[in-house]
Chains A and B, each alone.
Chain A
């Protein structure tokens, strides 16, 4: 498997040979920032296109077809449209909090985005508490949403933000519990070590029934946490106009839109990291020829393929299940997912401590 770490090490050595170490660090930080920004924006563009096309196909439509071949340029057109829209200056709002909210939402998704392992040696932030940091960073987003709803001075946004806040914090617990189940199995929280631990088999296959339950809980909870699918009641159009971002116009609204799509990618990325082996290729013990062929597929392709697959499932949810009510939503989390998650954690611990795993 090609190690991208060799490229970064070579580049680091090259820079440090021609300039002092601090200057090299500054240049590298700038490069990381620019690359992060580009990948973030390109991925958002791809995801908007991906979801539009999938939604269309689920409904037997074609989706965007006019701008560019198969509507490929539609998203770029929309991006420019949203940039040239007027930023409406509203009366009676809390201006500081109103302006702060998009920053929080975007920062939460960019920081947790930077922790994802993209490929062999392609990972920006590698804490030894990586997964924990990722959960912590992504839960910052709920603050932005609450601020957006509160500061808009609009009753719909307030209700939307409260619903969204209750939903996101509730489903975060199940996300945390199912991730914790895998941390128990792996014995590490570092993202790179988690991926390395799955070299001989993905956790979904290594962790017996417990990992499968955790995976299912994670998928449901992640859908809830990103306000998507059947759990998109913060934006229930027929009740609340558009939920917490009703009052945002132009690019201000665009930030929430961007963060929503990137959060879809981030939860898919975490799912592929925790359950489907991150960038590790699929290896079946004993099938040496098959494993060799799988090794030739680049690690980035593996990671993106798994993430897109999980996203496909989450988008599929949206067109399969009707939207739930708020009482059903909270009951599902607190009366079903949460107790099941706790007992699943205990089951996994028993398996690990008494050595029933392979």
Chain B
């Protein structure tokens, strides 16, 4: 168990920080609801777009380009997760560890090169 300030477990403190965030938002919202004015009109509820009524649905399907980048991100983010433990001990692993990671990185760079060649990095 890792101990942090006051000798409290770090996991407990993580929960404390999380609750602090929730508390900050909740408290500010309660204060705002108590002191802010409230009025109702139909126009206020409309989306803030161009001044004229919105045509069609707004929660629509969006450009596939974003999805492509999300997939690429996933690949490299998982790679980051794999590489961090290696990074912390790479000095003691020495040249052997470096060699095995080179193979891993080579495949990743190959993947990036493939995506690049296929035009996935080109915003269309």
Chain A hits for B83, CB < 8 A: 180, 345
A278 to B72, CA, bound (A): 33
Chain B hits for A33, CB < 8 A: 16-17, 19-20, 23
CB B88 to nearest CB in A, in angstroms, measures 5
CB contact under 8 A between A255 and B25, given known A126-B5, A158-B59, A166-B66: yes
Docked complex: A1-25 residues within 8 A CB-CB of B: 5, 8-9, 11-12, 25
CB B72 to nearest CB in A, in angstroms, measures 7
Docked complex: B1-58 residues within 8 A CB-CB of A: 2-8, 10, 12-14, 16-25, 28-29, 31-33, 35-40, 44-49, 54, 58
A353–B94 CB distance below 8 A:
yes
B33–A87 CB distance below 8 A:
yes
CB contact under 8 A between A155 and B54, given known A126-B5, A331-B123, A334-B121: yes
CB A252 to nearest CB in B, in angstroms, measures 8
* Residue among B17, B37, B105 with max Cβ neighbours from chain A (10 Å): B17
CB contact under 8 A between A334 and B72, given known A87-B36, A187-B91, A353-B98: yes
Docked complex: A114-171 residues within 8 A CB-CB of B: 114, 121-129, 132-133, 150, 152-156, 158-159, 162, 165-166, 169-170
Docked complex: A81-108 residues within 8 A CB-CB of B: 83-92, 94, 102-103, 106-108
B14–A111 CB distance below 8 A:
yes
A114–B13 CB distance below 8 A:
yes
A154 to B32, CA, bound (A): 24
A169–B73 CB distance below 8 A:
yes
CB contact under 8 A between A107 and B35, given known A155-B54, A349-B90: no
A89–B40 CB distance below 8 A:
yes
CB A182 to nearest CB in B, in angstroms, measures 9
Q: Does B63 contact A (CB under 8 A)?
A: yes
CB contact under 8 A between A155 and B8, given known A36-B20, A87-B36, A353-B95: no
A87 contact from B32, B46, B108, Cβ within 8 A: B32
A114 to B8, CA, bound (A): 14
A106 contact from B6, B21, B69, B77, Cβ within 8 A: B21
B69–A102 CB distance below 8 A:
no
Residue of A nearest to B121 (CB): A334
Q: Does A305 contact B (CB under 8 A)?
A: no
Residue of B nearest to A41 (CB): B24
CB contact under 8 A between A107 and B89, given known A158-B60, A162-B66, A330-B69: no
A348 to B59, CA, bound (A): 45
Q: Does B116 contact A (CB under 8 A)?
A: yes
Chain B hits for A5, CB < 8 A: 5
Q: Give 1 or 0 for each of A54-85: 1 = CB within 8 Å of chain B CB.
A: 00000000000000000000000000000111
Hey, which bits of chain A sit against chain B, CB under 8 A?
5, 8-9, 11-12, 25, 28-29, 32-33, 36-37, 40-41, 83-92, 94, 102-103, 106-111, 113-114, 121-129, 132-133, 150, 152-156, 158-159, 162, 165-166, 169-170, 172-173, 176-177, 180, 183-184, 187-189, 241, 246-247, 250-252, 254-255, 326-327, 330-331, 334-335, 338-339, 342, 345-346, 349-350, 352-354
Q: Which 9 A-B pairs have the closest CB atoms?
A: A327-B123, A91-B45, A110-B21, A107-B21, A114-B17, A251-B32, A154-B47, A126-B4, A183-B87
